Amino acid sequence: MKKITALFFLVLLSVSCKNDGPQANTYTGNALGTTYQVKYFSSENFNTEKALDSIFYVINTSMSTYQDNSDISRINSGAEEVEVDVHFQNVFRYSNQIFRESNGYFDPTVGSLVNAYGFGPDKPLNEPDEAVLDSIRQLVGFEKVKLTADNTIQKENPNIYLDFNAIAKGYTIDVIADYLDKQNVENYLIELGGELVAKGQNLERESPWMVAIDNPQQTDAERTLQTVLALKNRAMATSGNYRKFRIDSITGNRYVHTINPLNGKAEKSNLLSASVLAENCTLADGYATAFMALGYERSLEMLEELENVDVYFIYVDEAESIRIFTSNGFEEALVED
């Protein structure tokens, strides 16, 4: 599921609001196949650039499916004695939690089905026959993968393919936040590939950190915003398919495809995007992906069972009109026009 870049109004200044107070520090770059921006205020000097490079290196070495020699790539290739690090262990346990909470709709083993259908906006959707689906379904189901006491991964079928990309960026942000917390930083905003964690406030503006959600009806030529909110001491992730809509040739309506990992079927989804506020970005990232797989109605059912989670859903109703659902906590964070 493609992640939507949530804008945040981060003024890239190298000066602080007071010469004798916390200094503004800003770092930007590319990592994990996307871009990142980190801004914080501190009176202390420490090597954040080196720390960021180290964090990205460790996460890639552990969980990047794009690196042939990463732990997850070796496991996917059939290696059985790979002892995974603490980051892999943490992401595995978070994934298992969300897998259970979503009744299996969040599933890091669903990649085999995604590839079989050939998801993409510019080509027709493949329709695997039942024999092919039956074969692929043997490779899908996170319950078929275990983290052993020796911190190795045990798979029921050696061909099961693990992919934590739907949650790893959120987790990486939490690792960066933990680093800044240990440096006694009280005010920061971290963004990686559209996922965010905010703590304290923007001291330059003496206000909460302002972030925004994209408008799903925007065009490639013009970027517009759906809404703006003040983010403080929470994480936010947004998942959706803004630029991967398919257009119904008869009605002209937009829709997106998602996979039901329980039966292997590709379904039209009425949920266009899900923005999630949670206590950390790992959960926000995972829940946003889970909601997109569930669709609007089932997402509301799951939401009732979650604590300290707020959402902003953009969905299509039965009349093909775009609607908004906002939970109370998310509503409180919205900035009035």
Structure tokens belonging to residue 194: 């559209």
CA dist 91 and 308 (Å) reads 20
The b/e string for 251-264 (b: 16+ C-beta within 10 A; e otherwise) is eeebbbbbbbbeeb
Contact 286, 180 (CB under 8 A): no
Q: Is 24 annotated as a binding residue?
A: no
Q: Is 289 annotated as a binding residue?
A: yes
CA dist 33 and 56 (Å) reads 11
Helix pair 281-294, 296-303: axis angle to 10 deg:
140
DSSP assignment of 152-176:
-EEESSTT-----HHHHHHHHHHHH
Closest listed residue to residue 87, CA positions, set 207, 3, 167:
167
Q: Is 122 annotated as a binding residue?
A: no
**Amino acid of residue 33:** G
Q: Which residues are annotated as a binding site for Mg(2+)?
A: 166, 285, 289
Write out the binding residues.
Answer: 166, 285, 289
